[in-house]
A and B are shown apart, each in its own frame.
Chain A
Amino acid sequence: MTSLGIYIHIPFCIQKCLYCDFLSFPEGRQQQALYFDALKKEIESAADECGDYEVVSVFFGGGTPTSVEPQFIAEIMDILKARYNLSADAEITIECNPGTADFDALKLYHESGINRLSIGLQSAKDEELQRLGRIHNLSQFEECFKNARAAGFDNINVDMMSALPGQSLEDWKSNLEFVCKLDPKPEHISAYSLIIEEGTPFYQIYGDEAEQLEKSGDTTNVASENVYLPLPDEETERVMYRLTKAILAENGYHRYEISNYATKGFECLHNKRYWQGGDYIGFGLGAASLMRAERFHNTADFQKYLKCLSLDKNVSDDFRPESIREDIEKLDVKSRMEEFMFLGLRMICGVSVEEFKKRFDREIDEVYGDVINELVSDGLMIREGDSIRLIDKGLDISNYCMAEFLL
């Protein structure tokens, strides 16, 4: 049986963070209830389509999935357990923001079958949290973490964010050390550097600065009239990245992807699926899927989503998941090879020569030999036995390297 990952999007949050470009918005309970009715219906309707798959991972993402009534999540879990071939050891994650889940809620999630918790901490300093527009403070995180352990979660991720406005190397270092000193420490840490995304409040403030950093590596040409704290320069940002690797390594975490670190045995199966080209289906508003070599995503239009999943019980049989799917794109061999490379190379272990041959029935060197040799000779990539992977210098400029693999 082919394996499948399920992503479930919960587009609600208490308040939008200043840097966030995810599909989410603050909504009242009534809209949330409507949404969950629609979502449940979508998941039920797709059960047959997924009948020949074994579900090995589930990920509740957002928004803030824990900002809605915990019962809504438990009901979804019930459907998954009843209608899908949910593997006994499936990894089932829910994203959580401190201040949105108390002990009872966490316990309910755990009892419903969710076995992994991903907590968005981002920073261990209240003033940094405030600058990001986060709704919580550090003590709320500490409480959340403690409750999560108490509720039975033995696989916890903590999200951290570097290169924040005004952040120094010392600041970042102490943030990481705080996380490593949690007892028992989290099994997994995601450490990203802040990305200034278009359409966010941060873009208005930092858009020019970020662009200049990207272009020339410094911001000397940007008028510094900004009353806001400046972004760290490129050099500092890179040092932060390296420091992350070193500190986390000392504390027993290994880097397995550009921004992800785990203790032994706790790499996130669900996310690895994205980079390894495994099938996944996304439920809910805007959720993306890769099924049977087709990429598509659900509509991002809230009203349309609700409408297509009309709550009229009489027509429930008429709903076809296709009606909310957009941008359906059939991946040809070329696209699949490209993705195999540019997603696979995000992982520190890189891509497997054998696996390439198995999937495409061609030698990797026949297709990419020249590119690989060039990147190897530029000191960006190495080749060891079956594995081809980017080394630190290549990972720093991975887009540059990955673009080479487009055919």
Chain B
Amino acid sequence: MSEFDQSKIRNFCIVAHIDHGKSTLADRMIETTGVLTSREMQNQVLDNMDIERERGITIKSQAVRMVYKAKDGEEYVFNMIDTPGHVDFGYEVSRSLAACDGAILVVDATQGVEAQTLANVYLALDHDLDVFPVINKIDLPSARPDEVKEEIEDVIGIEAHDAPLVSAKLGTGIEDVLEAVVHRIPAPTGDANKPLKALIFDSVYDSYRGVIVFVRVRDGVLKKGMTAKCMASGASWEVVEVGYFGPGQFIPCDELSAGSVGYFTASIKNIQDARVGDTVTDALNPCEEALPGYKKVMPMVYCGLYPADTARYPELRDALEKLQLNDASLFYEPETSQALGFGFRAGFLGLLHLEVIQERLEREYNLDLVTTAPGVVYKVHKTDGTVFDLTNPANLPDPAEIEFMEEPIVNGEIMVTTDYVGSIMQLCQERRGRYISTEYIEATRAVLKYELPLNEIIYDFFDALKSRSRGYASFDYEIKGYEQSTLVKLDILINHEQVDALSFIVHKDGAYDRGRKMCEKLKGEIPRHLFEIPIQAAIGGKVIARETVKAMRKDVLAKCYGGDISRKRKLLEKQKEGKKKMRQIGSVEIPQQAFLSVLKLDEGN
């Protein structure tokens, strides 16, 4: 591949509110630049994980390179970098943006500017990206492109009068977008003669080549054969291959020079050595200082992961090992539970990250999992003066040994239309939020700032936020630090036996309510036995809530004649199968579903 003039390179991303057509536009651009035939196009080329496609969200950032012959007769190289769209991956988003020079803002011609649009634009502007708008879905009868243009200028303050009008669905106006990329997004600046300085914005693990590191080269040249070094981790390797991103494939080339976006491999075994945000340089001729902004992301949410079938523990271990190859922010260590047997305590960036990993384990590795209630990392100050991080409620020492405890607090920013300010404030109050301020960006839009305990937002805060604002609120948070708090461990006793996997840490004031909800939920999940089963929630030795599963009185098929026998067999088999999936706690059999159901206490209540 011949060397490209830096002035002919455009590195950009697309930002949009969910459903405004970001992925579709990306697909059309890839199609139009002719790298792929329509036939090869899967519906959405960029999102290639099943989970992403099903949920319509982008989890891992990806990049693709296109070659576009512009109207001025010149060929341009476009590197389009896709960004994950969730707050759990905020750091990855910021690194993806840092790899770009500009951004396309997609706005739905029928919906106009929405909360998330604004948040995303500000994020892009924070990274000094040049942003230009594109009005999508102009084919819809309710499209109002002129109004939307005005809205963009008024609300966001970027010029929109000549914004390309497109229908990504029908493929109209795509050429205009490509031309605008050429003219409105700046070419990268950077000096190919300086020592190598490249930003890692993503990485994936390949079982043959090791870690494939995605980089944006700022200065210098990244070449095959050179010794590359990560400045934060200190690891260095000989570069085996460099290349760029074809759609869905890696295309090797000789070198990547300043301004380029591409990848390299270097038989890197451990993804932790080449983390997102780190700076790659030439080990023999290093640059003076690393690119700004590197931080090691720490797991914020922990939960226990257990195989439903205890015999499959080794498979779960192998699967986690493989997932970690690709995911530097996934943490896990073995643990055992009396109720659930052998499993792992795993740490995640947030609840979505947890769900994604859980789904991947179930889908890609065919594992049935039992997950315990997610919790955050608490700092336990003991009376002997020592402090330790508590990730598993079961490890909480005797209250007599605890001086005090601290919990993580976040600075939360909620952007919401004024109609919903009241209900969102109420939600934050319910979640022990501490009100900081309200700022009005315009007459109808406000940013609420709250300090919130992390353990109050990891369960279902996003769902609650969405449902109370009809989807208009967007939420962003960053860890503020730890604060002392009155926390207690709530234990669940089933038939008078404590079930370790159901214990969790909760603020004292919320303990009664949660305990009651847990008992109610469990009552609905635990099948009736031959005897009555009390379900109790307790703090220390004190029972604060109780429900009872009545003894089984009747389980009989009144009629069973010649034509009913096959059906009867199926019924019994189902019953037997259900029993197999139960965990024995003392003399009580608890379905795995019970462990999962307590994760979603607010549903339907």
Contacts and interface: CB of A to CB of B under 8 A. Distances in A.
Interface in A252-272: 258-259, 271
B39 interface: no
Nearest to A218: B550
A187 interface: no
A258 B530 contact: no
Interface stretch (B227-235, B494-502, B569-577): B569-577
A399 B565 contact: no
Closest 4 CB pairs of A and B: A288-B563, A403-B575, A397-B555, A192-B558
Contact of B565 (A286, A288, A400): A288
B558 A193 contact: yes
A398 B557 contact: yes
B556 A258 contact: yes
29 contacts: A192-B558, A195-B557, A216-B524, A216-B528, A217-B528, A218-B550, A234-B554, A237-B554, A258-B558, A274-B560, A274-B562, A280-B562, A288-B563, A289-B562, A295-B566, A297-B563, A297-B566, A338-B569, A339-B565, A339-B569, A343-B560, A378-B530, A380-B530, A397-B530, A398-B557, A399-B556, A400-B555, A402-B572, A406-B573
B542 interface: no
B71 interface: no
B208 interface: no
Contacts of A327: 566
Given A258-B558, A403-B576, A403-B579, A396 B553 contact: yes
B49 interface: no
Given A217-B550, A339-B569, A396 B555 contact: yes
Given A342-B572, A399-B575, A406-B573, A195 B558 contact: yes
Contact of A403 (B553, B554, B566, B572): B572
Contacts of B565: 274, 288, 290, 295, 339, 343
Given A235-B553, A397-B552, A402-B572, A282 B528 contact: no
B55 interface: no
Contacts of A231: none
Interface string A348-378: 0000000000000000000000000000001
Contacts of A275: 560
Interface string A143-161: 0000000000000000000
A338 B481 CA distance: 62
Contacts of A237: 554
Q: Which range contains the number of A residues in contact with the other chain?
A: 35 or more
Nearest to A346: B560
A396 B563 contact: no
A172 B233 CA distance: 81
Interface in B189-247: none
Interface string B525-569: 000101000000000000000000110111111111111011011
Contacts of B562: 5, 7, 274, 280, 282, 287-290
Nearest to A235: B553
Interface string B353-377: 0000000000000000000000000
A260 B295 CA distance: 75
A287 B563 contact: yes
Contact of A397 (B523, B554, B576): B554
A292 interface: no
Contacts of A290: 562, 565
A327 B562 CA distance: 14
A307 B571 CA distance: 33
Contacts of B557: 195, 258, 398-399
A55 interface: no
A299 to B, nearest CB: 13
Interface in A325-348: 327, 329, 338-339, 342-343, 346
A403 B578 CA distance: 11
Nearest to B568: A342
Interface of A: 5, 7, 192-193, 195, 214-218, 234-235, 237-238, 258-259, 271, 274-275, 280, 282, 286-290, 295, 297, 327, 329, 338-339, 342-343, 346, 378, 380, 395-400, 402-404, 406
Nearest to A5: B562
The residue among A297, A327, A397, A404 with the most chain B CB atoms within 10 A of its own CB is A397
Interface residues of B, number: 28
Contacts of B560: 258, 274-275, 343, 346
Contacts of B576: 403-404, 406
Nearest to B557: A399
B558 A329 contact: no
Contact of A395 (B556, B569, B573): B556
B555 A399 contact: yes
Nearest to A327: B566
Nearest to A216: B550
Given A399-B556, A400-B555, A215 B524 contact: yes
Interface of B: 523-524, 528, 530, 549-550, 552-563, 565-566, 568-569, 571-573, 575-576, 579
A380 B573 CA distance: 20
Nearest to B572: A403
B227 to A, nearest CB: 64
Contacts of B524: 215-216
The residue among B549, B569, B571 with the most chain A CB atoms within 10 A of its own CB is B569
Contacts of B561: 271, 274
Nearest to B560: A346
Contacts of B523: 216
Given A218-B550, A396-B553, A397-B555, 16 more contacts: A193-B558, A216-B523, A216-B524, A216-B550, A238-B554, A258-B557, A259-B559, A274-B560, A274-B561, A286-B563, A342-B572, A380-B530, A396-B554, A397-B552, A403-B579, A406-B576
Contacts of A216: 523-524, 528, 549-550
Contacts of A258: 556-558, 560
A369 B350 CA distance: 51
The residue among A271, A282, A295, A400 with the most chain B CB atoms within 10 A of its own CB is A400
Nearest to A195: B558
Nearest to B552: A397
Contacts of A378: 530
A280 B561 CA distance: 11
A290 B575 CA distance: 24
Contacts of B579: 403
A258 to B, nearest CB: 6
Contacts of A297: 563, 566
Nearest to B523: A216
A63 B553 CA distance: 32
B558 A259 contact: yes
The residue among A237, A329, A396, A402 with the most chain B CB atoms within 10 A of its own CB is A402
A400 B552 contact: yes
Given A280-B562, A295-B565, A406 B572 contact: yes
A403 B561 CA distance: 18
Contacts of A398: 555-557
A326 B425 CA distance: 62
Nearest to B525: A215
Nearest to A233: B553
B101 to A, nearest CB: 59
Nearest to A380: B530
Contacts of B558: 192-193, 195, 258-259
A216 B535 CA distance: 14
A253 to B, nearest CB: 17
Given A192-B559, A343-B560, A378-B530, A288 B553 contact: no
B558 to A, nearest CB: 4
Contacts of A5: 562
The residue among B549, B552, B556, B559 with the most chain A CB atoms within 10 A of its own CB is B556
Nearest to A213: B554
A164 to B, nearest CB: 13
Contact of A400 (B549, B559, B569, B575): B575
A44 B405 CA distance: 85
A5 B569 CA distance: 21
Nearest to A405: B572
